Chain A
């Protein structure tokens, strides 16, 4: 369909409201964040241009640790989400009685307000009275109470598990949808040739899932990198900074200590990292597209 002039104008008119909205609420603040990152903006009345000072201040040993931690946290969380999500999807994809109900039962962590799910996990992690510590003691796996959120290493994993729990339903449903779009005749052809279930899964389902897996892991990587509510409600970045990721660090500096300028510089760094991820993602997907 060749596009004449009036059609192009019409298309832009249709786009204009959404575009304008996003420009005011997202693009403009983004530009302002960038500008703020070169100033010493804070609660005081005057704001001065300070150049690269905020960025120079950031690069120290503590912040390097925060970056490393953020990457590790994101990596483990996204990997677990994908593994559990693909596992759940392939289970729910089987033609067994009750699967419609099982599919509905997957959704609650996603539907429920995040804060509520996080409260529930917070209680389960409680060392004295929580479920996990309690069960571990009942089964004799640990001797005394384990306060998961009070110790650095366990808190790190506890926040990851909660993040995985919240992200899994979306991954599962998306991967399930992807599995159902695999043409049935492929399976039937393989089945006629005597290929077993596991073999069919490995040689047909998995390869055809790769594009959907890339899309989903990218989307969940962005969400995980930006994950705020979970860590904030469970540990506020503690104990002694062991769960402080870049986003928590940014919030603390900017909103907690009112150092808007320094906070903005951190926010710019987060945007920079995410842009690199997205760039790589588009490169990979466009290459996959060319190969077809």
Chain B
């Protein structure tokens, strides 16, 4: 105990070094957001003036009000992003929970190969498969619908979800399943009533990473498989601020912050699970 306290005691110069390091690191990570926020406060006219000024002159939150007028559909884009990501997350969970359980508990022939196959899906990003996917979506008749973004989105989020949940489930003691079987519970009942409740924290983490993945990273499907304005998600919808003459940068930035606020709030409340879950799942190999 004494050891533990002593080992974490820093000299003053070590504190300075560590905080300086953290500052440099976070400056790189957060600089675009700080600058983006400043831009959202600046009037458009002042934005296009040199010399460069970091602090806004006559700064105001005006852009946060005018953005709704210049792109009336914006609330709809946020809603679309949420709807698409929610459905994607639900479908991924339905597919992944049983699969992860199978990989975590059953040593059947071909399990290793199957796991490798799922991982290989990560290699084939959407862009490589775009041409046949486009034809597939067309023949399924889902081009220009929500499903055009949901269907391929799910497929590319399955592998990492399986991987994460499998490692989490492997940490649940086997004795629990075996005790349930001995008591005469069916295997499906065991999964539903014994494993699922215990694996809940892991499932929440997977749900969150999947939601983030879908909310944040699926630009290319929306760009290529959907051309209906009504169904556009946030990332593509933001292009509406790219006017014919010039980009309305202050409104674009304001809209970006409004668009990411819900996701940030979600993470803020759930980050405890996120760091703990990634710590539990990701490293155990």
Contacts and interface: CB of A to CB of B under 8 A. Distances in A.
A120 B253 contact: yes
Interface stretch (A66-74, A89-97, A147-155): A89-97
B52 A3 contact: no
Contacts of B178: 1
Contacts of A19: 99, 114
Contacts of B129: 26, 29-30, 33, 267
Which size bracket describes the interface of A in this complex? Answer: 35 or more
A237 interface: no
Contacts of B283: 174, 177-178, 181, 212
Contacts of A219: 122
Contact of B98 (A15, A88, A114, A131): A15
Contact of B4 (A105, A184, A260): A184
B172 interface: no
B244 interface: no
A274 interface: yes
A191 B18 CA distance: 19
A95 B235 CA distance: 38
B97 to A, nearest CB: 9
Contact of A33 (B22, B128, B162, B215): B128
Interface in B20-59: 21-22, 25-26, 28-33, 35-36, 39, 47-54
Contacts of A129: 47-50, 52
Contacts of A223: 122, 125
Interface in A1-51: 1, 3, 7-8, 10-12, 14-15, 17-19, 21-22, 24-26, 28-30, 32-33, 36
B219 A26 contact: no
B182 interface: no
B106 A165 contact: no
A247 B279 contact: no
A183 to B, nearest CB: 13
Given A7-B187, A116-B256, A187-B7, A137 B52 contact: yes
Given A21-B154, A21-B158, A247-B127, A123 B267 contact: no
A173 interface: yes
B35 A108 contact: no
B54 A131 contact: yes
A271 interface: yes
A124 to B, nearest CB: 6
Interface of A: 1, 3, 7-8, 10-12, 14-15, 17-19, 21-22, 24-26, 28-30, 32-33, 36, 84, 87-88, 91-92, 94-96, 102-117, 119-121, 123-124, 128-131, 133-135, 137-138, 145, 165, 168-169, 173-174, 176-178, 180-181, 184, 187-188, 191-192, 197, 211-212, 215, 219, 222-223, 226, 228-229, 247, 250-251, 254-255, 260, 263-264, 267, 270-271, 274-275, 278, 282
17 contacts: A3-B107, A11-B102, A14-B102, A15-B114, A22-B158, A29-B136, A33-B131, A105-B26, A112-B264, A119-B256, A120-B33, A124-B31, A134-B50, A134-B52, A222-B122, A228-B220, A247-B125
Given A21-B158, A29-B129, A129-B50, 10 more contacts: A18-B96, A103-B271, A123-B35, A134-B53, A165-B32, A174-B283, A181-B284, A223-B125, A247-B128, A255-B224
Interface of B: 3-4, 6-8, 10, 14-15, 18-19, 21-22, 25-26, 28-33, 35-36, 39, 47-54, 81, 94-96, 98-99, 101-103, 105-109, 111, 114, 116-118, 120-133, 135-136, 151-152, 154-156, 158-159, 162, 174, 178, 187-188, 191, 212, 215-217, 219-220, 224, 234-236, 238, 249, 252-253, 256, 259-260, 263-264, 267-268, 271, 275, 278-279, 282-285
